[in-house]
Each structure stands twice: as structure tokens, then as C-alpha cells.
Chains A and B, each alone.
Chain A
Amino acid sequence: MADTTRADTLERSRGRLRRQQALTAAGLAGPATFLLFLLLLGPTTAVVALSFTDWQFGAKSLNLIGLGNYAEMFGDRVFWRSLRNTLVYVAITVPTSVLLGLGFALLIEARSSAQGFYRTVYFLPVTATLIAMAVVWEFLFHPNIGLVNLLLGLVGIRGGHWLNNPATALYALAAIGVWQSLGFNVVLFLAGLKSVPRDLYDAAAVDGADSAWERFRRVTWPMLGPTLMFVLVIMAIRSFQVFDTVAVLTSGGPNKSTEVLLYTMYTEGFTYFRSGYASAITVVFLAFVLTLTLLQARILDRRVHYT
């Protein structure tokens, strides 16, 4: 009898303790949670909500129109053009800049001297303001005095007006995108290469994997797996966000050939003030980025088996 009472009291005080701990935990996590809602989840929810309305920027009233914006969007040729251009841009810049980045990183790593110099040189475009650099690229791509066409002329190729030709404008922008992100990838890959244990190369040599290709295939490539996944996903997200070169150099033209998602969203939302419609485009954009992020979380966690 007395024992039960004691056990009850003990149970009660334990429960009280647990409640107190939960309260403390909530209190400590509170500020971060609050900011998370205020800065991330709140705006995102607002955008999703706005995409179901016909709200115009500055208007005092709005009407719920359900999936009206989406229906309009999916029926609009400009949207499909813009989505396709974005995907083409991503499909060009991601593999090119990742493979080139890996190649340059391997070359720099193989050199014993001046590694710091090359690292800095390749990283410069990342730190430079892309809008300022875009002006430089406009000069480089100039049909008559541009360096690109001058160089091509030396080998007998007549280059056109890269940024004004609907057939080449998107590719010219992709080239700038590769140039800009290459250094970022080089630096990440260099860090990845530095973390490959030297002993593994020795073990591979003793095991018979001592040609450059076998070393790469047996040790470097698998050990770079986590870095590679990270670089791929980051690059994909960054490429999806392409905007500044389009805005400065082509404004989506000529003839919508460089219209990309974020630029379409920008013109709809901030030129025509159709905030509801722009929100719908943003939701599509968010869906792509979110998918990539989830992919990264999933695959990366499963593939990182190294300690």
C-alpha cells in the first residue's frame, strides 16, 4: 500500500520533470522556429496561396480563382518555351561545368607548384558580380570587335552575332554560366581530392591499379562520390536560378529564345504586376528546386558511406 503511493509519487514527479524538459526544449528552439516560419515557411505559404488568386500588385482586393492561373500558364506558349529553355540551360551548364571543374581540379592537383594561384584564378569569376561581368561578355561576344569572333576568325570560322541570334543566344548564355560556376566546382573538387587518403593510392598500386585511369577509377572517382553529388545538386539549383545574364544581356530575347522561368516570373510580376500569375510560376520553380533538394538529401545520405 505504502509502496504504491511511493511509486505513484515517483511517477508523478517523473512526469513533471518530463513536462518541464519538453517546455525548456520548446523554449530553446522557439526563436529559431519563429524565424523559420517568418522568413521561410510564411512567405512560401503566401506565394502558394497567392497563386490561387488574381491579385495584382498594389490592388486593394483579390478574388479566389482556384486553378485559373495554372490553367492559363499551362495553356501559354511563353511558359512552355521558358520552361524548356531553363531545362536546356540546366542540361548544358551542369554537366559541362561539373566535368570541366573535375578536369581542372585533377590537373591543378597533379601540379606540385602554383596550386594556390590556379585556385584563385579559377575562383575569381565566382566572386565577381555577374552583372558587371555580363558587360564584359557582351564585348567578348560582339560580332565585329568581340574576342570570340576574332579568335574564331583566326581559324577560319566566321562567328555570328551570338547574343542576337535566336539559334545561339541560349548557348552563349550557357557558356557564360559555365564560365561563372567553373571555379566554384574546381574549388569543391580540389577540397574533395585533398581528402582522399594517400594510402589508398598506394594500396591500389600494390593491388595492380597503378595506371592513371585505374587510379582514377578505383580510388579517385569513388572517393569523390559525395563531393560529386553535392556539386551536381548545387549546380542544378544554381542553374535553375539563372536570371541576371538574361536580364542584362538579352531580356529573354531575341524572339523569346532566352526566356527562362525566373525571367518570365519577373516580367509577369514586376513589369505587368500580375502577382497571382507570377506566384503560380514561382510555385513551379519551387517544385523543381524542392525536388532537387530532396534528391540530394536522399541520395547523398545513402551514398556517403565513408568515415
Chain B
Amino acid sequence: MAQVELTGIAKSFGEVRVLRDVSLEIRDGEFVTILGPSGCGKSTLLRIIAGLERQDAGRIRIGARTVDTLRPNERDIAMVFQSYALYPHLTVAGNLALPLRMRLLSWQQRLPGARWFSPHIRAVERDINRRVSEAAALLQMETLLPRKPAQLSGGQKQRVAVGRAMVREPRVFLMDEPLSNLDAELRVHMRAEIAQLHRRLGVTFIYVTHDQAEAMTMSDRVVVMMDGQPLQFSSPGAIYSDPVDLRVARFVGSPRINTLPGVTTGRRSIDLAGLELPFDVALAAGERVTVAIRPAATGVAGQHGLPGSGVPGLSGRLVHRENLGSDLFLHARIDALDTTVIVRQDPSAIDAFPLGMQLQVDIPVDQALAFNSAGARIRSRVVARAAAS
């Protein structure tokens, strides 16, 4: 079993504190993505798990072992790098075989010509060749085996890098932004392939990325990291719809979540420039809060002279439209809050929304999220009730 347990990991480079007190518990066989903007410390965390970097404080356990003092190759891990890091002077077959040769043969046995004197070495090499061709078959790259990395496309290199990690049969796969050097179409394709590979191998995957689409589509659970700290560790669905921190809410979702400045009234509600949202929280009056709502959760009320839908709304002016074919995003300027709100609509309705029109933006209370001035989530019992019903 290879669960990965991090306890109180901290790391500084000189004056810069890259990681502060990171604790995570990753289950055996789980696909966990560490998601965060560049510079949040996610790559450093992965390198610490791999043993390429030593933590200043904290403990790492992989499976039943504490690996803090172990070298990378003793940790039973494999790593895929953003730059692929293939050995340019070796063929694809040589690249795949190297980790096995390093592990299964001693340095004397690796000497050129040693194989002529020992049937044992020849047997090990046959075994290595078999495992290399198995991995190549699994990744459908048998024809690439005799080539050098320079003769491969980006996607093929990526596949070789994954293959090199796979032949070792590690208990934990570490992947550091493995898709970010690929073009968009290939990225989507490789996303599916990596998820499939995870299902087939059934081992623990720890995947680092700044791309929320990768995190949301592949993972069992996502860790959102900011400023060297994990903010939330839960399923992709919960990261999107139930963020515990305003920074998480802002980082996940495209277009970005709408954030509106509000003030508590003291009457179990929040005031948004005159619009009173019922929020079942006991907060003193006059506290600054942020109300956040996804573009897809909002709506437009009162169009075509229809009566309002009954949910509270903000009046604004349509200043910009974006038609993506699958979605239509309306940018509504809310003067009272001095902000712009993005509303998702069905593209077929585009003619109903001429630029400059006045519209009423729905803020459904059960979909709205409230955060205090420090960015922490304020849970409302109304939300809980609405979700339950």
C-alpha cells in the first residue's frame, strides 16, 4: 500500500518561505492534483516528495516507511518532468531501460561487455527488454523505440517520459506539469490518456499543474495551494461549488467567479448596494464581506418585460457580450457596486440582449457564497437548507 503522508512540511530558499506547514494525507491509489498559480510552491512540494529537495521541517511517509532520509531512487517513486528530461544521447528504448538497468544491475554488471561473461546478466537484460517492450506496447509507441528523442514530437516525448516512469513499476507517480509544453488539442488528448493510465495501473498519482481543467478532469481530489499553503483539499466538484476560501473560488472556474462587495446588516442578511440577501449567519452589523457567485448560477430577470423571477436582482447595463458557441457570457456593469458581473446565458438567446440594454441580474441566494474580510467562507444555514431540499 502506498498512501503518501506529509506532516508539517516547511521549506525556505534563503529569505523566501516557499512552503509553510503543509500537511496532506493522500490515499493509496488516489489521483491527487496539486493546483495553484506559479510560485505557490507546488513544484517544490513535489520535488520534496521525490527527494530531489530536502524539507527544512516536517515528515514524509510513503506507504509504511518514513522516507525523509532516503534518496530519490530508494523512495519507490517515479517522476515525469515538464521538460520531459529524456536522455538525448539514448534511443527511446535506452531511455526506458536506463532506470531498470540502474536498479537491477550493479555497476560492475553494467560495464560494457560484462554481459558476454555472465548468463545472469543476459537473463536480467532479457527481462529489461521484455518490460520495455511491454511498456511501449501499453503506450502504443513500439515504432518509436529505435529513435532518438530529437526525432520525436512533443507528444511522443511526453509519452516516452511517462513510459520511463512506468517501467519502474513505482508505487507513486509524480508528475510536474507534464502537459504544459504541448499544444491545446494534444493536451486534452493526453489528459484522457493519463487518467486511463491511472485507472489501469491503480497506483497513487500526484500531479502538479496550474491548469484547472487538468485538475478538474483527471483527479479524485484536488489540493489548491496558494502562497505555500494548501487552502482546500477535496473533490473537484467541491472545489468548484463549495470553496472554503475566496482565493480558491477565484482561482477555479472560467470565466472567473463574480465577486461583489457587501456589508452585513445584523439582521441575518447581507446588503449589496440596497439589495438585501438573506443569509442565515450571526454577524455583527457593518462588517465588510464578499459575495461570490458563478456566472452559470446567475440569471437575467425581467427580460422582454416578463416579471422578475422572484429572486433578488441587481440592475445593470450590458456593456459586452462573449459568444463562445456553447455559452454566451454577458458583462453587466453594476454602477451601484462599481463592478462588472458576468452572466451566463444560452447562446440562442443572443438577440434578446442588445448591447447597452438595461437588465436585472439575478443573485440566487442558495447559489451565492459569502466570504469574510479575511477571505474565509461564511457558511449560511439557508444554503444548507436549500441544498437539502
B-binding residues in A (CB < 8 A): 197, 199-200, 202-203, 205-210, 214, 218-219, 222-223, 225, 305-307
A223 is contacted by which of B72, B82, B88, B150 (Cβ under 8 Å)?
B88
How far, in whole Å, are A292 and B77 apart by their CA atoms in the complex?
A: 47
- Chain B residues within 8 Å of A206, by CB: 50, 52, 72-73, 77-79, 99
Expressed in whole angstroms, the minimum distance between the Cβ of A258 and any Cβ of chain B is 40
A205 touches B71 (CB 8 A): yes
Query: Known contacts being A206-B72, A305-B150, A307-B150, is A225 close to B102, with CB within 8 Å?
Result: no
Q: What are 10 sample pairs from A and B whose C-beta atoms fall under 8 A apart?
A: A203-B164, A206-B99, A209-B98, A210-B71, A214-B102, A218-B87, A225-B89, A305-B89, A305-B150, A306-B88
How far, in whole Å, are A207 and B50 apart by their CA atoms in the complex?
A: 11
- Chain A residues within 8 Å of B71, by CB: 205, 210
CB-nearest residue of chain A to B89:
A222
Expressed in whole angstroms, the minimum distance between the Cβ of B242 and any Cβ of chain A is 36
Interface residue B83 (Cβ < 8 Å from any Cβ of A): yes
How far, in whole Å, are A199 and B83 apart by their CA atoms in the complex?
A: 7
How far, in whole Å, are A208 and B87 apart by their CA atoms in the complex?
A: 14
Query: Known contacts being A208-B102, A208-B103, A210-B72, is A203 close to B150, with CB within 8 Å?
Result: no
Most buried by A among B50, B78, B102: B102
How far, in whole Å, are A232 and B324 apart by their CA atoms in the complex?
A: 59
Interface residue B148 (Cβ < 8 Å from any Cβ of A): yes
B92-117 contacts to A (CB < 8 Å): 98-99, 102-103, 107
A197 touches B85 (CB 8 A): yes
B52 is contacted by which of A200, A202, A225 (Cβ under 8 Å)?
A202
Expressed in whole angstroms, the minimum distance between the Cβ of B102 and any Cβ of chain A is 4
A199 is contacted by which of B50, B73, B81, B103 (Cβ under 8 Å)?
B81
B99 touches A208 (CB 8 A): yes
- Chain A residues within 8 Å of B51, by CB: 205
Q: Other than A199-B82, A200-B87, A206-B79, give 9 A-B pairs with Cβ distance below 8 A.
A: A197-B85, A200-B85, A203-B85, A203-B164, A205-B51, A206-B99, A208-B102, A209-B98, A209-B102
- Chain B residues within 8 Å of A305, by CB: 88-89, 148, 150
Expressed in whole angstroms, the minimum distance between the Cβ of A303 and any Cβ of chain B is 9
Complex A-B, nearest 6 residue pairs according to Cβ-Cβ distance, in ascending order: A208-B102, A208-B73, A203-B85, A199-B85, A222-B89, A207-B99
Expressed in whole angstroms, the minimum distance between the Cβ of A228 and any Cβ of chain B is 12
How far, in whole Å, are A187 and B77 apart by their CA atoms in the complex?
A: 37
Q: Mark B98-141, 1 if CB is under 8 A from A, else 0.
A: 11001100010000000000000000000000000000000000
Expressed in whole angstroms, the minimum distance between the Cβ of B323 and any Cβ of chain A is 41
B98 is contacted by which of A197, A218, A223, A307 (Cβ under 8 Å)?
A218
A307 is contacted by which of B85, B88, B102 (Cβ under 8 Å)?
B88
- Chain B residues within 8 Å of A222, by CB: 87-89
How far, in whole Å, are A275 and B314 apart by their CA atoms in the complex?
A: 100
How far, in whole Å, are A208 and B81 apart by their CA atoms in the complex?
A: 16
A202 touches B81 (CB 8 A): yes
Query: Known contacts being A202-B52, A218-B98, A305-B148, is A207 close to B73, with CB within 8 Å?
Result: yes
How far, in whole Å, are A223 and B85 apart by their CA atoms in the complex?
A: 12
Most buried by B among A199, A205, A208: A208
- Chain B residues within 8 Å of A223, by CB: 88-89
How far, in whole Å, are A206 and B87 apart by their CA atoms in the complex?
A: 13
- Chain A residues within 8 Å of B52, by CB: 202, 205-206
Expressed in whole angstroms, the minimum distance between the Cβ of B76 and any Cβ of chain A is 11
- Chain B residues within 8 Å of A209, by CB: 98, 102
Expressed in whole angstroms, the minimum distance between the Cβ of A193 and any Cβ of chain B is 15
Expressed in whole angstroms, the minimum distance between the Cβ of B264 and any Cβ of chain A is 50
B136-179 contacts to A (CB < 8 Å): 148, 150, 164
- Chain B residues within 8 Å of A218, by CB: 87, 98
B42-96 contacts to A (CB < 8 Å): 47, 50-52, 71-73, 77-79, 81-83, 85-89
Expressed in whole angstroms, the minimum distance between the Cβ of B75 and any Cβ of chain A is 9
- Chain B residues within 8 Å of A200, by CB: 85, 87
- Chain A residues within 8 Å of B50, by CB: 202, 206
A202 is contacted by which of B85, B88, B102 (Cβ under 8 Å)?
B85
- Chain A residues within 8 Å of B103, by CB: 208
Most buried by B among A200, A203, A206, A222: A206
How far, in whole Å, are A238 and B73 apart by their CA atoms in the complex?
A: 45
Q: Mark B187-203, 1 if CB is under 8 A from A, else 0.
A: 00000000000000000
